[in-house]
Structure formats: C-alpha cells, structure tokens
Amino acid sequence: MNAGEASSLRGRLQWYATAAVGPMASAGVQFLLSLTLLARLPVAEFGRLSFVFVVSQFSVGIWSALFTSPMLVLSAQAASDGGGAEAARELGGVTAVSVWALLPATLLFAAIAAAVGLAPLSAGLFSLYASVVLLRQFARVGATARGAYGRAMTSDLAYSALLLAGVIALAVLPEAGEVTALAMLAFAVAGALAPLLPGVRLRLPGMSRVRAYRTVWSRDARWSLLGVISTEATVNSHSYIVTALLGPSAFAPIAATVLFIRPVTVAVNALVEFERARAAHRVARAEFTAIAQARLHLRLLLLAVWTGTAILAALVIAFAPAEYMVGKFGLETVLTGTGLWLAVAMARLLHAPEGVILLAAGRFRQLAWISGWTALVSLAAVLGLVAVASPVLSIAGIVLGEGAFAFAAWRATTRLLHDAPVPR
C-alpha cells in the first residue's frame, strides 16, 4: 500500500467513524434498554413490545422506499452539473407527501398496537414514538443529503444521551414498566429531532407540490416500496408468522436473541445511510472506480463489527445474570437463536455494500425483483420450519432468504460496475 492509498484509507475510516459513532452509541443504549425490559417484564409482555418495535422498524423501511431513497437520488441530481428545475420540483413533491403521510401512519400505529394487546395508553405512546421516528428519519437523511453530517451525528448522540437517562430511570424505579419505557422512548426521539430542525420551514405543503410526487412514484418509489415489502418478508416473516400463529410468548425468545446482532444491524443501517449519499453523487459523476473501492472498504469494516458482535454475544451469554436471558429461555434456545442470528447478520453485511450502489444508481426495479423472489424463499422456509420445529428455528428460513439476496445483489452490482463506462 503506497502513501496515497494509506491516506485514502485513513480518511475513509475517519468518515465511517463519524458516520457510525452516533448510531453505535444509540445501539449500545438500546441494548441496555432491551435487557432491562427483558428482566423486568413478563415473557408475553416483552414479546408484544418487541413485535411493535418490529412494526416501527418496518415503517422506517417504507419511509425510506417512498421518500428518503428518492430524496437522496434527486438531491444528487439537483446538485450535479446536469441538475435543474425538474429534480428540485420532484424533491419538493417528496417532502410534501412525506408530511401528509404522517397522519395516517400515526393512526395505523395505534391500531396495530391495540390489535396485539397493548393497553390504550401504551398504544398511544407507541404511536407517538413511531411517528416521530419517521419524522426524525426524514430530517436526518435530509441533513446528510445536504452534507450536514454533523447535525445527523449530534441528533444520534442526543438520542443516546436521553435514552441512557431513561434506562437509568427505568432500572431504579421499582414500578417502571411498559408505559414508562414507551414514554421515555417518545421523549428521547423527540429530543433528538431538535438538532435537525434549524433551517427547516415548518408548514404544511400545498397540494400542487403533492402532485409533483406522481413522477417519483411511477418511476422509482413504487419499485422501491415493492422491494421493501418483499425484503421485510425476507428478513422478518418469522416475526409475523410466529406471533400470529403461536402468540407473543413464542416470539419472545426470537426477539431476545436478536438483541445480540443489534450492533451489526445499527452499523449497517448507519453506514449505508451515510455512504448512500456519497455514492449517489459518485454515480452522478460516473466515478465508478471510487465506488468499487468504497464497496470493499465498507465490507471489511462491517466484517470487523460482526466479529466484535460475536465476541460480545459470547460474553453476555457466559456472564450475564440468568434473568437477563438464559434463565428465561434455556441455554439451548439462547445458543440456537444467537447462532442463527449471527448467520443472518453475516448475510446482511455481505449484501449491504451492493444495496448502497444499486440504490445510488437508481436501480429500484432491479432491487425489487431480487427482494421479491428471495422473499418467497424466506416465506416458504419459515412456514415449513414453524410447522415442524421449534419457533426459534424459524430464523433459519431468514438465513436462507438473506443468503440468496446477498448472492443476487452481488451479481447485479458486479455486472453494473463491469459494464460502467471507463472515464477517458
């Protein structure tokens, strides 16, 4: 490695550290929160709460498909030499529809929470929390699209600090439970929204701007949405199938063991989100050599995070008090679930760099088709495993679907980079 390459690698590592420090801090605090809830709540109540958090995370994916992914591509196009009024008009349409969509999303969150058995107050608090998560996500991605990475990092760190204070309160208050946890989460995410608000005009957009979204929907967003829905079937079909067929108690050990891969999941999401903004600008400038190099660096960094996560999981299983995991579900269930989730995490980090490139290149339809057929693989495998094996073994169906997705995305990205025009 020559001096120039070393300098480039150091710069990229510093970039990734900036991108990951806030989300990783949040992941650490969320891990503590989940362990506290696992020790404090009955198994069925923990399962219900874990399921609605899966729904909230799914909604973030839908928001990304409909709004934030198109916003990143349009922002890069508007900023490039060939950008113009059309990209800016469509960008306004994306913002307008995202604002108007918050109200039905809020009502839907409350309905789902009530349907799975949360009390009215808990359902209302969850609905508030999940809605503000969507608002913050849009504002955060908007900040990265404008190059305001410091604001995004400040928001993440503010969320971590507020959440940590809530976890401490939850641990020391003897009567604290589900309602306290949801109220604390809603307060933390609302506080984390504050650093993203300066310079943002808070007003309802007119319907003329909403109509500008039609082009984005027909060209990009509908395919991206199909991809997210099928991806959810690939990665979380077990959550819905096990909860629907066997109840929250059967889902609880699956939700508990997934905590061990939270660092990888958060790292993938955070680094992908930051890298996607840069990749979109590189695609607009046809810098495909830099894209291929960034792909390798991102994969190596995620592999390092996965290794650290596996070590952390082993330490927690070996040394944590029994009420936090093994004592509730049994050692065999915990080891099986953790091993399968680590396999899922490996498959996800292998296809994460490919997803960055394909989304940045606007290949929404191609990603939708890939996630569509791999979703069928996961669904069939999960249904079969739930019918003949223990609920925790249904995670193996997700491993199969994620592995198929990783292979298909790798082939598509390799072909894209191979066929890219060579700059002269």
Q: Which of 236-240, 260-264, 280-284, 334-338 has the lowest mean pLDDT?
A: 280-284
Instruction: Assess if residue 87 is contained within a domain.
Output: yes
Name the domain count of the chain.
1
DSSP class of 82: T
- Residue 378: Cβ-neighbour burial (10 angstroms; 0-12, 13-18, 19+): buried
336: confidence class by pLDDT, cuts 50, 70, 90? very high
To which residue do tokens 């830099």 refer? 290
Closest to 380 measured CA to CA, from 273, 253, 234: 234
Q: Tell me the average pLDDT of the chain.
A: 82
Could you tell me which residue, 111 or 197, shows the higher pLDDT?
111
Instruction: Assess if residue 11 is contained within a domain.
Output: yes
26: confidence class by pLDDT, cuts 50, 70, 90? confident
Residues with Cβ < 8 Å from 221, sequence gap 6 or more? 65, 66, 67, 69, 70, 213, 364
What CA–CA distance (Å, rounded) separates 149 from 284?
A: 20
Instruction: Assess if residue 424 is contained within a domain.
Output: no
What CA–CA distance (Å, rounded) separates 305 from 297?
A: 13
Instruction: Assess if residue 50 is contained within a domain.
Output: yes
Instruction: Assess if residue 372 is contained within a domain.
Output: yes
Question: At residue 8, does pLDDT exceed 60?
Answer: no
Question: At residue 289, does pLDDT exceed 80?
Answer: no
Please state, in angstroms and as integers, the Cα–Cα distance from residue 35 to each residue in 154, 259, 291, 340, following that order.
25, 8, 39, 19
Instruction: Assess if residue 105 is contained within a domain.
Output: yes
Q: Which pLDDT score is estimated for 106?
A: 95
Closest to 23 measured CA to CA, from 224, 305, 404: 305
Q: Which domain holds residue 200?
A: 3-419
Q: Which pLDDT score is estimated for 343?
A: 94
What CA–CA distance (Å, rounded) separates 363 from 57?
A: 23
Question: At residue 100, does pLDDT exceed 90?
Answer: no
DSSP class of 354: H
Residue-wise pLDDT for 339-350, tens only, equals 999 999 999 888
Whether 352 contacts 298, CB under 8 Å: yes
Residue-wise pLDDT for 72-99, tens only, equals 778 777 766 555 677 777 777 888 888 8
Residue-wise pLDDT for 107-136, tens only, equals 999 999 999 889 999 999 999 999 999 999
Q: Which pLDDT score is estimated for 423?
A: 44
Instruction: Assess if residue 358 is contained within a domain.
Output: yes
Residue-wise pLDDT for 396-410, tens only, equals 999 999 999 999 988
Instruction: Assess if residue 268 is contained within a domain.
Output: yes
Whether 310 contacts 237, CB under 8 Å: no
Residues with Cβ < 8 Å from 44, sequence gap 6 or more? 247, 248, 249, 252
**The dihedral formed by the CA atoms of 314, 318, 319 and 321, expressed in degrees to the nearest 10:** 110
DSSP class of 392: G
